[in-house]
Amino acid sequence: SLNLVAFSLGDMCLTEGDEIITTVVEHHSNMLPWRHSAARHGAKVKYLECEADGSFSLEKFKSLLSDKTKIVSMTAMSNIFGRIIDIKAFAEAAHAVGAYFVADGAQSVPHSITDVKQLGVDFLAFSGHKLLGPMGIGVLYGKKEILEKMPPFLTGGEMIEYVTLDDVTYAELPHKFEAGTVNAVGAVGLAAAIEYIESIGLHNIEERELELTRIIFDGMKEIPHVTVLGSDKAEDHHGIVTFKIDGVHPHDIAAIIADANVAVRAGHHCAEPLHQFLGIPSTTRASLMFYNTEEEIERFLDIVKKIRPMMGYPD
């Protein structure tokens, strides 16, 4: 979805010397498409830096804006910090200089109530698998009046109305942007996942995940030599606890935890520039969902406490 917007919106509005603003915390999926689009049109990408707690300064953002700014794209929730960003305020500031605003909702949509009209964004994209749906499918919301002006991203079957040897008329939305055979199986699976999420209720999911986040966050703060990235408040993490342990490589941490039948992820989590910005090569991330239990968290905390002694540290 973000490649679609970056390519098509870029073709519509970017010229040489224009500027795109994104942030240092972005997943590669919301960074590389904009760099590619900028390179195609001779535009420049500018980066908004984050604060130590994973938040963004609106004033710093406004200082990057100018009449050259044509597109702003930023995450609604970092997959490293887990912090929800007040993208409504950033969208308003972007619109004030005539720029389009694109939001990456892959991390935020499964964990919080999202109202695109209230947020005021021009586009919002999110993935299916983080909503418990199939892999390889996602959703793109866009304002109709903008989508109608944008050229197609891909061409081929199913996205045309009429074709001759000399001309083509494109189909109405959304078909104009859905060339080829659609992923029907993925769409059915994603619809089922959304129905399941809605049957539980996002209010209930938010409440449950906050309970679990507080347990794991408070437990991690009590373990010596463990540092959790981002805010020092559990309620800012929304089920994401990214951490490091002094003297232990993140992949070793993940392997030890995996031996206890707990799944975490180690690496840069498709946010390598953020790790470079923070001055750390990689981290380990524990990700919670509403189906996790207190017992699973206690098992996780118990093994984290033992990691440094297992590696030979006296602690």
Give me the active site residues, please: 270
Closest CA to 5 of 25, 23, 42, 30: 30
DSSP run (H or E) holding 32:
helix 32-41
Tokens 């959790």 locate to 228
Give dist(CA 268, CA 94) in Å, integer. Answer: 29
Closest CA to 292 of 241, 248, 235: 241
Give dist(CA 110, CA 138) in Å, integer. Answer: 12
Counting other chains too, the contacts that 243-251 makes at CB distance below 8 Å and 24 or more residues apart are 243/283, 243/284, 243/285, 243/286, 244/280, 244/283, 244/284, 245/284, 245/304, 245/307, 245/308, 246/308, 247/308, 247/311, 247/313, 248/307, 248/308, 248/311, 249/282, 250/282, 250/283, 250/284, 251/282
What are the distances in angstroms from CA 99 to CA 64, 85, 110, 250?
12, 19, 27, 39
Six token digits for residue 28? 């590669």
Give dist(CA 211, CA 218) in Å, integer. Answer: 11
